[in-house]
Each structure stands twice: as structure tokens, then as C-alpha cells.
Chains A and B, each alone.
Chain A
């Protein structure tokens, strides 16, 4: 009509194309299928989580097309893998495709391998200043995430094959949440990589992810931690399905922030400065990921308190894990306070974010290793 309408922004629903609607339709069809097939294992809360997750996956997939593709791929490959099992656990080592590619254990191993390759490629890309190598590294990270999620989905199914009463979502022990940690941290990174075009940071972020991969490998081969264990009574609750993922968005985002701050500190000293994004971008990314982490960590802690009120008889028991969650929360609250209220910027905050990772790691791992308490199912 007239050119003044050029600045009109479309809202999300207006901007959707038919492909987006098809995507949402498939996601919902998938969850209805899951509901029909497995509803006898779900309570009312879990049913609402299922459809809540479908809604969330649709929304996120609309906002971020890459994630939509991932959701579809995870769904298709997982269903295919499950169909190969045909209700027998032994098939995991008998059917060729399962044994070498998409049984839960193989998929998780592929995830580990791909993360290592991705890290090497990211560093190579940065060293050579190669766009192509950077793209390959991103693709490797995406495939690692794909295999990781397939591994978890199939593991979920496998746990029910052991015995129906053993079956549970695979976020119940240290081994499983370490995988979750790798996946969430990668996704957060990939999101910002696409948004801010920061492929140079991949090598840094994958350092922390590969540290987790190293732990998974040690835990698998030295401790046989990949064996599926039944849930202790305290963990048999729908709360686990929201409390744990929320927590790991927090941990993942804090780790991402710490790795970005490491890059910031190097660039600030002039090291790799020409290869890294500008300090402003790094600073912004650091802030954004801590903000996301803080928001989710808050939600996770509140959900944890609500769960504790139901399982342990009190929303707050000053259990070491709870207390350390509070300390982590206070730490990042102070960080955000300084930045938002006092307007502080620069290396001090970067150092703080980096050291914050130590506090977070202690809350996540150290508490389980050194202190005893109610969260004892996460012990090494």
C-alpha cells in the first residue's frame, strides 16, 4: 500500500509458513502416538508434561528452525531404533544397526566421538580461519547432539525392557545427567552461534563438554555406570522430569558463560584477539547465558523445593545440595546485580564467571563426592 508499512513487524504466528505448521502437526502426532502407546505408565502430571513438551518443541522449532529439524530427526531415528529392538533387550547386541549405531549405548558412544571431533575441528577452523571447517565443526556438534538425544530416548525405552517397574526417564543418576549436560550445553551454544555468528567460540565451549565426555567414558569403562539401575523410592516422582532438566539448563548456561569468559579474558589480553569475536559480543554473550542460567536455576531450585516438600517433608532442609544450590544462586545473583545495577563490565566479571564455574561444579559434583546428604543417589 505505502512504504511506511515496511517497518511493520510480523508476530510469530503471522510469520509461520506451511512447513512450520506441518512440523507442529508431526510433533503433536508423535506425542499423541506416545500417549496412546504408553499412557498406562504416566500419571496426569506426566501426560501434561508430554503435551507441554510438544508445545514447547513446536514453539522452539518455530523460533529456531535448526532445533525443529533436530526434534524431527531424534524422533524418527529413535522410533526406528525402538522398532529394531522389537521388545527384546538382547537385540541391542544382535542387530547390526543397533550394535554399531543406534542402540542406546552405541549412540551415546557416537555422541562422545563426535564431540571430540567437533572440538578438534573447531580449533582447526579457528587456527586456519576457515569458514568451511567451522561449518563442518557445527555440523559435527549437531550430529553429536542428535546421537546423544537418540541415545537417551532409546535408553528410556530400554529401561522398560529390563522390567516395567524399572523403567524411568534417563535423567536419574550421574551418568545420565552428564549426557544431558553435554546436550543442553551444546544446544545453548549452537543457539548463540547461529544468532551471533560466533563459530570461533566452539573450541572453547567444547572444552567443557569434552571434559564431561571424558567423565562419561571413565564412568562407563571403570565403573560400568551405563548399566540401567532401578529408581530409589524418593526419585519415583513426576517432579524429576521438570526439576532435573531445568537444573541442567542452569548448569549448562553457567558453563557456557564460563567458557565465553575464558575467551573474553584471552581476547582482553590480546591473545587470539584477531580470531575471536569482539569483546562487546563476548560480553553480551556472557551476560545472556548467565541470565538464562540464572532464570532456569531459580526455577529448578523452586521446583526442587516443591518436590522436597512432598518427598522429604519440608521445602528446605539445609541438605548440602540445597545449600550449595543457594550458594550458586547467590553467586550469580551478585554477578547480575553488579552488572545490571552498578553497570560493571570488563575482566572482573569475566573472572567471576570463570570462577563461578568452580562453585557450580562443586555444587553439581563436589557435593556428591565429598558431602553426604539427601541427594545421595548422585554419588560417584
Chain B
């Protein structure tokens, strides 16, 4: 037993490791986290999948064996205790009891016997008689000896549960892998090219595999993830997905995930059609099919592509689909576009303090832009403008590695809630040919400047210069110029002047871009000021966007894929059986109290000797003994 308890302790510690260290992550994450050395060591120890590692299974196996031995050794004595009345107790041994009492009586032996039997029966005791060597009549009684079954049940339950668990573990695969018959596949190759060594046949007794089915597609294989690779699990039937649905609550949170499945099997006269959802799986041929998650099933997408650095507002069209690639640009500068994910609903809590209600901000698209050296940047674009602090922006996030947070470019909406206004403004700001006119317009509105032609000319030149700098790298460029050419003391004042000048120029530029499109001009008011500030910030941020291409999602045709989990679990019924035994065992062990009573009637002396014992002495027993002692006194005395 000591061995079993220490095994249980090791099991406990191992389990804790498994909860602290996130299990079954992609191996790159572990390398980044621990570094190459520790990564290798931990991998050898199987810490990335503790609960399926060889040593963990070995401990479980030892537990089964040692608990079985324990049962084997103790059950006979337990059964003996359960059956026996201990009627061979001698007067001497009864005298040694801590709980005993002797009564004297005038009644005859038979009369006493009758009374005592009535008493024991009323208290629910079973009893047996025996005439002692000294002629005294002994009644040996017991109650609650079923408690002994508690021990047997709980321990058998442990073995049964662990046995069930081992049945559902991947022990057969582990052994085959060790012997070299099987190996995991680590490459991302089409299923049909996976070698037979990495395939599990339909006769595999237990597995837990996953399957992603796009709408309208059927398949007869699933994938079992093992460490940093996978195995292909063949299925004895085909599963087709007709339709996948997500329903939402009024608040936008998901309410249900449902898949309309069709099971196609030559053994069936007609295919089975069934809708599964979370908490409502379908079982066929011993394989349970669960709704586990969902993902995109290849949504088709139409984009308008803006070149952020072009001094015009021309756009190109780009079409693509999730999990497919596209190309932007030409030659050495060409970028591969990898469309990774599309989400139709995004429930985000937009309130600044996080206390408000989460809301749906509409579809977004995640894609990567990869250059010809293989370097990629990841982008996430929201299709609809989002409200932040009462104003609306188109958000587009960029990050260079998965560890980073997305940094967002916020493009303010125009009066039509579109982004054309900003894009046209941006084009004007980038178009050097427009600078002289911008400068003239500013000069015309400035009383101080327009009086003197020399001042006016100088002023216009400086505006053009400033805009040229600004068009190259936004506020950063302006700051650099100031740092280089202005003495430290005057920098702040100069910076303020420049910012003022840029925003005045922006006002003219924005209006020029509106004029060109025959749109109503901006009035000078607080709203315009905010719009210009946001536009200039966005303009400055495009230099940090990492690419000249801005992909504006125009249209999509949503196609979903349902994530199914397929489980064959022959151990389940064993585990449930064990659980029932466990509960029965625990209750009988704790709530059935074994008590024994000996009543010895001494002939001649007319004395009754009462002794009581329990294998667990506690308050309840004390109370019961005291009660019986008094009741017997009034019964006999």
C-alpha cells in the first residue's frame, strides 16, 4: 500500500506539471519559450504531452498491478470479517474491552435471552449463540459489516477505472511505434500521400481523432494529433457535411453550433442524416461524432487594393479564397498573399474600461504578405468601420511575429462612411505637383503673408518643402528635420509651427481632393479639425504599415467548415462501471458503521456481561454505546 500511495503522489506531481505547462502546443512555441537546450530535454521527458508519455502510462500500469495485489491480499480477510460473528470471544478477552458493562438480574436465563434477542433485533443487529466452556451463554452480534465491502468496492473501482483508461489510451500505438511498425507523420502533405506506417486502420480499437469538413464535402479519414505530428485514422464510413450553422444571441454571442451530417456506408440501405451540436453527438458503429469547433471552409473574397504610396487614388481588384494564395506586384518586389482566416462575426468589447457590453464589429480577414525571401508580415483587416471614442475608423492591424500584438492603422471614415475620402486626401498629399497650389491657397488666406510678394514666395517655398518632407515619412520625417537643423531651445516652438502648418495644408489638400470629385467641401469647425488630425495620423502611420498595399475587403461569399471530433472509446463503460463501484464503496465505507456486541449470560450468577466494539471509534460510537448501556440497564436490571 505504501508503494501505491507513493505512486499516487508521483502521479499527482506529474499531473500538476501537465497543467502548468501548456500541453500539445506547436513545438515552435516551446522552442521560443525554453530555448533549444531545455526544449530538447523536456521533449525527451515527454513533458509536452505528460498524460500520454511512456513513464506516465507506466505509473498507471504499476498502480493497477499494486492495487490488484492489495485487493488479492486483503479481500479474504475482509470477507472473513464481513461474515464472522466473532462468537469465539472468550470471557477474558471481553473483559479487556474499553466499552463494557455488567448487569445483574433476577430473571431466568431463557427470559434474559428472549429480551436480549428482542433488543438486538430492534437495533438491527444480526446474532449468533454459543455456549461457552464455563457454561455461560454468549450472544455475538454484528451490524454494519457491509462496511467491509466499501474497501473492496473502492479498490476494485480504482483498478476498473484505470483499466478502462488504459484501454482508451494509445498504448497499442506506443508499442508499435517502439517496435518500429508505426511512426508519426510530421510533414504537411495531402492525406493520400501519407505512408501506411502513419495510418491507423478501421480496426484500431480506440482513438480520438479530428476532422475538418467544409460544407458540401465528405471524407472517410480523420487525424490524430500526436506530439508534433499526426496519424491518419481511417474510418469504416464516410461523413459528409451538408450545412454548418452558428446561431447567435441578440447580444451577438454564439448560441449554438450545428452541423447537418450525412453518414454514407455501404452497410446502410440509406445514408443516415442527423444534425449534431455541442452536447448532442451522434454515435455510429461505436464511433461518436462530436461538434468540436469550426473554421473557414474556403470563403471567397474580393478586394480593392490601394497602393498607399502612389500619388493617385487608383485601385486594382484582387480575388482570392481562404487557404489559397494570391500575388501582389511584379518581379522582385512581388508579394505572396496568403489568405489565412475569415470571420464573419467578431464580438469585441469596445468600451475603453472594458465594462460595456461586447458587440459585433462585423467581418474581418487575416492574411500574410510574404516577400521573395520568405519573410512574412501578418495583417488583419476589418471590413466595416469601427466606432472608437465616438468616431468611426477602418482598422487594419499588422504584426511581424505571432508573439507581437497587432499594431493598428486607423483610417477615419469620410462623410459617406467610406475610405475614399482619406485615400484621395492621401493621394493629394503625396502628389508633389499639387504642393505649389496648396501653398498658394494657404498664402491667399493669410493676411500677413499675401501683402509682401517676397515674403509670400518664401512662405510658399517653405510650405512645399515641409510637404515634401512630410510626404516621405510623415511626422517622423518632420521631427528628424527639426532635430537636424534647429537649435535645441527653439525646437518646440518650431515643431508647433510646423504641425500647425501641416494641418492647414491638410485642410487645403483635403478640400482640393473633394473639389476634384465634386464633393461638398469641409467647413472649418471642430469636426473638421478632428477629421484632419485623424487623417494626418493615419497618413503618418502608413509609413509603419510595412507594405504599400492596403487590401480593402469589398465582398465575400462565406463558406464554413465544421470541426468534428471522432471518438472510439471501448474503456468508457469500464470507467462508468468503476465510477458506480467507487461511489458505492465510498458511501459504504463512510456511512456504514461496523459495530459488534457481545452479550454473555452467566448462569447461576444471573449476570449479563455487555461488551461493544467498533473498528472505528468516534463520537457516534460513544453515543451509541452510552445509549445502549442505559437501555440495557432498564431492560435487564
Contact = CB atoms under 8 A, between A and B. Distances in A.
Secondary structure at chain B's binding surface: helix, strand, loop or mixed? Answer: helix
A372 interface: yes
A277 to B, nearest CB: 11
Given A233-B256, A302-B579, A324-B19, A165 B249 contact: yes
Contacts of A281: 619
B269 interface: no
Contact of B122 (A7, A284, A310): A7
Interface in B256-307: 256-257, 277-281, 288, 290, 292
A362 B572 CA distance: 28
Given A3-B634, A233-B257, A315-B569, A166 B587 contact: no
B122 A9 contact: yes
Contacts of B634: 3, 6
B355 interface: yes
Nearest to A233: B278
Contact of A295 (B165, B586, B616): B586
Interface stretch (B10-18, B88-96, B544-552): B10-18
Interface stretch (A106-114, A211-219, A258-266, A326-334): A326-334
Contact of B579 (A163, A166, A305, A330): A305
B18 A323 contact: yes
A294 B281 CA distance: 31
Task: Point out which of B11, B256, B278 has the most chain A C-beta atoms below 10 A from its C-beta.
Answer: B278
Nearest to A373: B19
B255 interface: yes
Nearest to A307: B279
A171 B335 CA distance: 52
B249 to A, nearest CB: 4
B402 interface: no
Contact of A298 (B15, B256, B586): B586
A7 B250 contact: no
A327 B9 CA distance: 9
Interface in A314-354: 314-316, 318, 320, 323-324, 326-327, 330-331, 334, 336-337, 340
B23 interface: yes
B83 interface: no
B481 interface: no
Given A165-B255, A298-B582, A318-B18, A334 B8 contact: yes
Given A318-B18, A334-B8, A367-B19, A230 B253 contact: yes
A206 B119 CA distance: 43
B279 A327 contact: no
B20 interface: yes
A33 interface: no
B325 interface: no
Given A315-B572, A323-B18, A298 B279 contact: no
Nearest to A287: B618
B277 A7 contact: no
Interface in B573-591: 575-576, 579, 582-583, 586-587, 589-591
A311 B16 contact: no
Interface string B105-124: 00000000001001100110
A83 interface: no
Contact of A230 (B15, B251, B586, B590): B251
Given A232-B253, A323-B18, A295 B292 contact: no
Contact of B590 (A165, A234, A291, A316): A291
Interface in A187-246: 223-224, 229-230, 232-234, 236-237
Contacts of A131: none
A291 B620 CA distance: 14
A334 B5 contact: yes
Contacts of A326: 12, 15
B616 A340 contact: yes
Contacts of B396: none
B255 A233 contact: yes
Interface residues of B, number: 60
Interface residues of A, number: 54
Contacts of B277: 233
A56 interface: no
Contacts of B122: 7-9
Contact of A311 (B22, B119, B279, B620): B279
A353 to B, nearest CB: 16
Given A6-B631, A330-B8, A280 B619 contact: yes
B565 interface: yes
Contacts of B19: 320, 323-324, 367, 371, 373
Interface string A349-376: 0000000000000000001000111000
Contact of A232 (B51, B254, B572, B589): B254
B54 to A, nearest CB: 16
A265 to B, nearest CB: 19
B377 to A, nearest CB: 27
A309 interface: yes
B278 A311 contact: yes
A15 interface: no
Contact of A310 (B168, B208, B279, B587): B279
A299 interface: yes
A312 interface: yes
Contact of A318 (B51, B119, B253, B582): B51
A4 B115 contact: yes
Contacts of A336: 590
Nearest to B14: A323
A151 B181 CA distance: 62
Contacts of A291: 590-591
A313 interface: yes
A306 interface: yes
B334 interface: no
Nearest to A229: B253
A312 B290 contact: yes
Interface in A89-120: none
Contacts of A9: 122-123
B499 interface: no
Given A294-B586, A302-B579, A7 B631 contact: yes
A323 B12 CA distance: 9
Contacts of B583: 295, 298-299, 302
Interface string A155-174: 00000000101100000000
Contacts of B281: 310, 313
A149 B593 CA distance: 34
Interface string B46-61: 0000110000000000
A343 B572 CA distance: 35
Contacts of A311: 278-279, 290
A246 B145 CA distance: 28
A22 B253 CA distance: 46
B635 interface: yes
A315 to B, nearest CB: 6
A97 B438 CA distance: 69
Given A4-B635, A327-B16, A313 B256 contact: no
A233 B291 CA distance: 11
B618 A4 contact: no
Nearest to A8: B122
A31 B292 CA distance: 36
Contacts of B359: none
Given A165-B249, A287-B618, A310-B279, A372 B635 contact: no
A370 B616 CA distance: 41
Interface in B18-77: 18-20, 22-23, 50-51
Contacts of B537: none
Contact of A371 (B20, B118, B569): B20
A281 B583 CA distance: 27
Given A233-B278, A236-B278, 4 more contacts: A7-B123, A224-B355, A295-B583, A337-B5
The 6 lowest CB-CB distance pairs between A and B, nearest first, are A313-B290, A233-B278, A313-B565, A320-B19, A7-B631, A284-B619
5 contacts: A233-B256, A295-B586, A323-B16, A323-B19, A336-B590
